[in-house]
A and B are shown apart, each in its own frame.
Chain A
Amino acid sequence: MLSVVVFLPVVVALALAALPATSRPRRYTVPWVATGLVQLALVAVMWRQLPAGGYGFVEQVAWIPSAGISYHLGVDGLSLPLVAMTVVVFTAAAVWSLREDRRPKSYVLLFLALQTVSVGVFVALDLILFFLFFDLSIVFMYFVIAGWGHGARARSAALTFFLYTFLGSLALLLGFILIYLAATPHTFDIPALAAQNPLAAGGPVAGAALLAIGVGLAVKTPLVPFHTWLPPAHTEAPAAGSAVLAGVLLKMGTYGFVRIAMPLLPASWRQFAGVVVVLGVVSVIYGAMVALAQTDLKRMIAYTSVNHMGYVLLGVGAAGLVAGSDAQARQLATTGAVTQMVSHGLITGALFLLAGALHDRGRTYDMSAYGGLAARTPRFAGLFAVAAFASLGLPGFSGFIAEFQIFTGALGAAPVATAIAVVGILVTAGLFLLALSRMLLGELRFPDAPGTPRPFPDLRARELGAVVPLLLLATLIGVVPRFLLDLIEPAARVVNELVSR
């Protein structure tokens, strides 16, 4: 069943590949939306049937037994919410792209392939399988940015993105090999390695493995100072690409911390948890401050991603500070971190799609070019305000649930760091309010192409269909979070037990 969920998009892509390239865009985009909906239905079934403990829907087939590699899939409370979020974001991107008219065939095929590898990363239970999906996500994303980017700099932004994240993925691979060699018998199987705990004693090898894996994941997350690829990649990518990049691909980094770094290298994680917390707080503050200084809407949202991923790191770092906190606080921090991943995927996906809507109408992301849009485009203004408030962590939205848990969980273990991180929320609140007042209020103004006074229409049905469900889900999690937390909490407890052993 899991294999079906993972590979359904690729199968659909292969079928669509048979269609002639000159077909109408709908021929491709409608099946893409349908694929997402089928996947969603399957994920909903899995959500209901997930066993209380351990992994569900496990599939394991020997792949390269002599190298300890197997095709091993499974979901638990950590991965299933992320799988669900991934499918939702992709489906929103599909609805958004319904009328994509620039080479629609390759566009849809690429996104379908990306959809498969993105779901694959979250359900892989073998390090090499994880790496395979992780790496292919970079390859496909490169083509999305290079092929459908806005500006003349799209290709160089795509290249920067590729080189940077590929370098990170190789560091990741080196770390995986170190863990593999430490285990007897040698294996890349994540549950087997977690049970065996080959590097329980810590030491230089475990430290090196954590450093390599940490760097690899930090590039993807991205953490300061490895974030420099993110703003250009986001600015140049098409709207759906940005939404997927921020909503899904960034989570691969943070998910790697919870799925791989914490359970497989517990001793080193405890040893260096302080460093993780500091990195997280630096990302929170730095991301917020730089976002505050942006005039380009997309760059601003991109930097808030750095800020939001910083909270996740604060949470998982605090979970490693075993000495200073009790089990309940650490579980709260881990649960908050996973919730934040889901929440950020939904909210940032919506924000980037809205930014794309703005670009479609005004051909620029420069915030100073817009003003008073609330009067002209009330639907856009309303949704953008909702997304902005959700993103800054207003109670009633998913971001609040996540950040509240992280802060509560981390406060006992790292009071100073947590206190500093809370300042980040204030800055993000400030910058979003500033953006709202600049763009939505005041005198009406929007860019006008010379000689062609064009209307500035409000959001269309297709755009609403993509953005509204994302924000509805974010609100749902914010108001009745139990359905999500009930899934995450047992898995978070397991991770914390693995870390503290």
Chain B
Amino acid sequence: MVMMTEDPTTLVPELALLGGAVLAVLVGAWTPRRRQGRVRVLALLAVGVGVVATVVAATRPPSTTFDTYVLDTTTHAVRAIVLVAVALILWWSRDAVAAHPRESEFTALVLLGGLGAVLMAGACDLLLLFAAFLLASVPLYALTGWAKSGATTEAALKYYLSGAFAGVTMLAGTTLLYGAGGTTGYEALPGGLATGAAGPAAVGLVAVLAGLAFKAGAVPAHFWVPDVTDGTPPAVAAVLTTIPKVGALAAMWRLLLAVPDQIVPWPLLVAVLAALSMTLGNLAAFAQTSVLRLLAYSTVSQVGYVLMIIAVGARAPQALPALLFYLAAYTLTNVAAFAVVAAHPARTIEEFRGLGRRRPLLASALVVSLLGLVGTPPTAVFVGKLTAFAAAFDGGMAWLAVLAAINTVASLFYYLRWIAPLFRDEPSGSADGIRESRTARHGAVTAALLSLVLGIAAGLVLPVFVAS
């Protein structure tokens, strides 16, 4: 039986993120522009506190706090993934944001976005889920427009409009589910839905899923992904395509498992979304010449693989570790790929020519992260894909696993299109006067290394993700 508590100390990781954000705004306001670095140090300290608290909390048995927030393996894992991602991005984005007029705002917004993502993953009540959705959205709208150039303003508007639409849909879905089930809490929801009307329940669930699909960047709510990724600085794009995704996908998992699939046949729905996401994301990525748009579509297709795990969530016992591991692996790999883009001023594939000669380590990091996104052993995503395929087969969705395998091969094509020019000779005279970011380079190498380590140490990590 799950313990109930109302103990605020169980929420230290969330409070650390919140406190870090508040401190960032306050300290940032009273610090001269040249010394804004201390804000980042404070934020990293807050994240460190959050990580320690997460590790401590993970040793306790699962419980529910304030009736609406679950503390279990999923929450702990998402906390850890988001915190690590936030720390990595804050660290390697230093060169890009240092001495920027809104430096401390960047830090605060990233922390708040991370807080929203964690809350989405832990929420076991539709109302809290919606509040968390807003918390993961509003700061990120602001973050999208942070750089305040023409492209970012357009991206922010696009993100905001689709987000507002998704939010309204989600709220309507929440109302319908409440009407059908008579409750917003996940624990009582199955009982309520069993006696309520099935039609409104199905529509409501689909509407809530639509909101979460927007946050996850999954088909059919993926239209914002390429424009926003391409229009914002790589550090912001890395946040937007990683952190809310992790929270939204974990939230989807939690919500769907609370709805019996006899009432709403959601496994098939999610499976179709998974198939569409991976296929459309891949097809759209083929023709891209901008590396940011290519990465954007690659994130859409990656969501498809995660949705495949969620589709068999109720039927395959190993789906949960597969899901959490995939999220962790994807986060590290994706952050590494964006860090490479941030480290180098090139924005088209052609401009990456000769990087292998000039910056062998950075080029290796890119190769590791791109082959990692494909799922080449021994990177972390390989183990993620392996467990995902096994779960899909086990859950009776072999067709989806085969489709995922075909998509994996197809994805090779555009990742290789990016890798190939790295080792070609660069056009003469282009290497002079290039502004590179040192911290982003270090961040890229670190994240790529971490993704390798996670893949090799999968034996130690996977058991941790098994539901306790």
Contact = CB atoms under 8 A, between A and B. Distances in A.
B134 interface: no
A157 to B, nearest CB: 12
Interface residues of B, number: 28
B188 interface: no
Contacts of B394: 181
B423 interface: yes
B412 interface: yes
B402 interface: yes
A18 interface: no
A181 B62 CA distance: 30
Contacts of B212: none
A277 interface: no
B457 to A, nearest CB: 9
Interface string B405-432: 1001100110010001001000000000
A171 interface: yes
Contact of B423 (A64, A67, A143): A143
Contacts of B393: 177-178, 181
A180 B402 CA distance: 16
Interface stretch (A160-168, A222-230, A326-334, A436-444): A160-168
B420 A159 contact: yes
Q: Summarize A's interface: helix, strand, loop or mixed.
A: helix
Nearest to A178: B393
Contact of A177 (B321, B383, B386): B386
B405 A171 contact: yes
Interface in B364-421: 371, 376-378, 383, 386-387, 389-390, 393-394, 401-402, 405, 408-409, 412-413, 416, 420
Contact of B412 (A64, A163, A181): A163
Contacts of A147: 423
A132 B371 CA distance: 13
A457 interface: no
Interface string B349-377: 00000000000000000000001000011
A163 B412 CA distance: 7
A66 B386 CA distance: 12
Given A135-B376, A180-B390, A174 B321 contact: no
Contacts of B459: 62-67, 69
Given A64-B462, A162-B412, A170-B405, A135 B377 contact: yes
A66 B387 CA distance: 10
B420 A132 contact: no
Given A162-B412, A178-B393, A181-B393, A67 B387 contact: yes
B150 interface: no
A159 B462 contact: no
A146 B401 CA distance: 31
Given A64-B459, A163-B413, A171-B405, A136 B376 contact: yes
A305 B281 CA distance: 39
In this complex, which of A142, A155, A167, A177 has the most chain B Cβ atoms within 10 angstroms of its Cβ? A177
B383 A64 contact: yes
Contacts of B371: 139
Contact of B377 (A131, A155, A174): A131
A173 B423 contact: no
Given A166-B409, A171-B405, A128 B386 contact: yes
Interface of B: 318, 321, 371, 376-378, 383, 386-387, 389-390, 393-394, 401-402, 405, 408-409, 412-413, 416, 420, 423, 458-459, 462-463, 466
11 contacts: A64-B459, A65-B463, A66-B466, A67-B386, A69-B459, A128-B377, A136-B377, A146-B420, A163-B416, A166-B412, A167-B409
